[in-house]
Amino acid sequence: MLPAVIDIEASGFGRGSYPIEVGVVLPDGQCCCHLIKPDSDWTYWDCRAEKVHGIPRQLLLEKGVDLRQVAMDLNNLLGGTKVYTDAWSYDLSWLGKLYDSAEITQLYTLESLRALMSEQQSELWHETKEAVIQRFNLKRHRASADARILQETLRQLHLEI
Protein backbone atom coordinates (compact mmCIF):
# COMPACT_ATOMS: atom_id res chain seq x y z
CA MET A 1 0.00 0.00 0.00
CA LEU A 2 1.26 3.47 -0.82
CA PRO A 3 1.56 6.05 1.97
CA ALA A 4 -0.51 9.19 2.39
CA VAL A 5 1.25 12.18 0.83
CA ILE A 6 0.78 15.89 1.57
CA ASP A 7 1.84 19.01 -0.29
CA ILE A 8 1.50 22.63 0.75
CA GLU A 9 1.61 25.82 -1.29
CA ALA A 10 2.56 28.96 0.61
CA SER A 11 2.53 32.74 0.50
CA GLY A 12 6.31 32.74 0.13
CA PHE A 13 9.40 30.93 1.28
CA GLY A 14 10.83 33.22 3.92
CA ARG A 15 10.07 34.32 7.41
CA GLY A 16 6.42 35.26 7.82
CA SER A 17 5.19 32.94 5.07
CA TYR A 18 2.12 30.80 5.71
CA PRO A 19 0.17 27.97 4.06
CA ILE A 20 -2.35 28.95 1.40
CA GLU A 21 -3.30 25.55 -0.02
CA VAL A 22 -2.96 22.01 1.25
CA GLY A 23 -3.45 18.85 -0.78
CA VAL A 24 -3.45 15.25 0.42
CA VAL A 25 -3.59 11.96 -1.45
CA LEU A 26 -4.50 8.98 0.70
CA PRO A 27 -3.20 5.43 0.23
CA ASP A 28 -6.39 4.48 -1.66
CA GLY A 29 -5.91 7.41 -4.07
CA GLN A 30 -8.63 9.59 -2.52
CA CYS A 31 -7.68 13.26 -2.75
CA CYS A 32 -8.50 16.25 -0.55
CA CYS A 33 -7.53 19.85 -1.24
CA HIS A 34 -8.30 23.16 0.50
CA LEU A 35 -7.49 26.75 -0.26
CA ILE A 36 -6.84 28.42 3.09
CA LYS A 37 -8.27 31.80 4.01
CA PRO A 38 -5.40 33.74 5.63
CA ASP A 39 -5.67 34.57 9.32
CA SER A 40 -5.90 38.30 10.04
CA ASP A 41 -2.22 38.54 10.99
CA TRP A 42 -1.04 36.52 7.99
CA THR A 43 -0.06 39.40 5.73
CA TYR A 44 3.25 38.41 4.12
CA TRP A 45 2.92 37.90 0.36
CA ASP A 46 5.69 37.13 -2.12
CA CYS A 47 4.72 37.79 -5.75
CA ARG A 48 7.46 35.38 -6.88
CA ALA A 49 5.73 32.55 -4.99
CA GLU A 50 2.41 33.54 -6.59
CA LYS A 51 4.03 33.19 -10.03
CA VAL A 52 4.99 29.63 -9.10
CA HIS A 53 1.65 28.41 -7.69
CA GLY A 54 -0.66 30.80 -9.57
CA ILE A 55 -2.95 31.46 -6.59
CA PRO A 56 -3.74 35.16 -6.07
CA ARG A 57 -4.24 36.34 -2.49
CA GLN A 58 -7.66 37.75 -3.44
CA LEU A 59 -8.83 34.23 -4.36
CA LEU A 60 -7.89 33.05 -0.85
CA LEU A 61 -9.83 35.89 0.73
CA GLU A 62 -12.90 35.16 -1.40
CA LYS A 63 -12.89 31.34 -1.65
CA GLY A 64 -10.51 30.13 1.06
CA VAL A 65 -11.71 27.84 3.83
CA ASP A 66 -11.34 29.04 7.42
CA LEU A 67 -8.01 27.77 8.76
CA ARG A 68 -9.68 26.16 11.78
CA GLN A 69 -11.88 24.11 9.47
CA VAL A 70 -8.86 23.08 7.38
CA ALA A 71 -7.00 21.97 10.52
CA MET A 72 -10.00 19.95 11.73
CA ASP A 73 -10.55 18.40 8.28
CA LEU A 74 -6.90 17.34 8.08
CA ASN A 75 -7.08 15.83 11.58
CA ASN A 76 -10.26 13.93 10.67
CA LEU A 77 -8.69 12.67 7.45
CA LEU A 78 -5.20 11.89 8.75
CA GLY A 79 -5.51 11.51 12.54
CA GLY A 80 -3.21 8.84 13.95
CA THR A 81 -1.30 8.33 10.70
CA LYS A 82 2.09 9.22 9.28
CA VAL A 83 1.97 11.48 6.22
CA TYR A 84 4.90 11.98 3.84
CA THR A 85 6.21 15.09 2.11
CA ASP A 86 9.09 16.03 -0.15
CA ALA A 87 9.62 19.38 1.62
CA TRP A 88 9.62 18.28 5.25
CA SER A 89 11.15 21.36 6.89
CA TYR A 90 8.95 23.84 5.00
CA ASP A 91 5.77 21.81 5.38
CA LEU A 92 6.42 21.16 9.07
CA SER A 93 6.75 24.90 9.63
CA TRP A 94 3.63 25.76 7.62
CA LEU A 95 1.52 23.07 9.30
CA GLY A 96 2.79 24.33 12.66
CA LYS A 97 1.63 27.83 11.74
CA LEU A 98 -1.77 26.48 10.63
CA TYR A 99 -2.37 24.49 13.83
CA ASP A 100 -0.97 27.19 16.13
CA SER A 101 -3.23 29.83 14.57
CA ALA A 102 -6.20 27.48 14.71
CA GLU A 103 -5.38 26.62 18.34
CA ILE A 104 -5.86 22.94 17.51
CA THR A 105 -3.48 20.03 18.14
CA GLN A 106 -2.20 18.28 15.02
CA LEU A 107 -3.19 14.58 15.28
CA TYR A 108 -0.86 13.08 12.65
CA THR A 109 2.88 13.09 12.07
CA LEU A 110 4.83 14.41 9.12
CA GLU A 111 7.78 12.51 7.69
CA SER A 112 10.17 13.07 4.81
CA LEU A 113 9.73 10.93 1.71
CA ARG A 114 13.49 10.30 1.91
CA ALA A 115 12.82 8.05 4.90
CA LEU A 116 11.11 5.60 2.53
CA MET A 117 13.89 5.41 -0.04
CA SER A 118 17.15 3.60 -0.44
CA GLU A 119 20.15 5.53 -1.76
CA GLN A 120 19.53 4.06 -5.23
CA GLN A 121 15.86 5.10 -5.19
CA SER A 122 16.85 8.59 -4.03
CA GLU A 123 19.20 8.88 -6.98
CA LEU A 124 16.35 7.96 -9.36
CA TRP A 125 13.81 10.30 -7.70
CA HIS A 126 14.06 13.39 -9.93
CA GLU A 127 14.25 11.43 -13.17
CA THR A 128 11.27 9.29 -12.18
CA LYS A 129 9.26 12.31 -11.00
CA GLU A 130 9.80 14.10 -14.32
CA ALA A 131 8.66 10.97 -16.19
CA VAL A 132 5.50 10.85 -14.04
CA ILE A 133 4.75 14.50 -14.77
CA GLN A 134 5.15 13.91 -18.51
CA ARG A 135 3.24 10.62 -18.57
CA PHE A 136 0.21 11.88 -16.64
CA ASN A 137 0.36 15.47 -17.90
CA LEU A 138 -0.23 16.71 -14.36
CA LYS A 139 -0.17 20.43 -13.65
CA ARG A 140 2.49 21.27 -11.09
CA HIS A 141 2.55 23.66 -8.18
CA ARG A 142 -0.95 23.13 -6.99
CA ALA A 143 -1.07 21.17 -3.78
CA SER A 144 -3.25 18.19 -4.75
CA ALA A 145 -1.56 17.75 -8.15
CA ASP A 146 1.87 17.86 -6.52
CA ALA A 147 0.80 15.35 -3.85
CA ARG A 148 -0.47 13.01 -6.59
CA ILE A 149 2.83 13.40 -8.49
CA LEU A 150 4.77 12.50 -5.35
CA GLN A 151 2.65 9.44 -4.61
CA GLU A 152 2.81 8.21 -8.21
CA THR A 153 6.58 8.70 -8.23
CA LEU A 154 6.76 6.49 -5.14
CA ARG A 155 4.66 3.89 -6.97
CA GLN A 156 7.00 4.01 -9.98
CA LEU A 157 9.97 3.48 -7.67
CA HIS A 158 8.14 0.41 -6.28
CA LEU A 159 7.87 1.84 -2.80
CA GLU A 160 4.56 0.34 -1.88
CA ILE A 161 4.72 -0.20 1.87
* Mean pLDDT value across residues 16-38: 96
User: Measured in whole angstroms, how far is the alpha carbon of residue 117 from the centre of its chain?
Assistant: 19
pLDDT tens digits, residue range 84-117? Answer: 999 999 999 999 999 999 999 999 999 999 999 9
Name which CATH class applies to 4-156: alpha beta
Q: What is the pLDDT of residue 126?
A: 95
d(CA 157, CA 122) in angstroms, rounded, equals: 9
pLDDT tens digits, residue range 139-149? Answer: 667 899 999 99
pLDDT tens digits, residue range 28-77? Answer: 999 999 999 999 999 999 999 999 999 999 999 999 999 999 999 999 99
Q: What is the pLDDT of residue 161?
A: 44
Domain map of the chain by residue range? 4-156
Checking if the pLDDT of 137 tops 90, the result is no
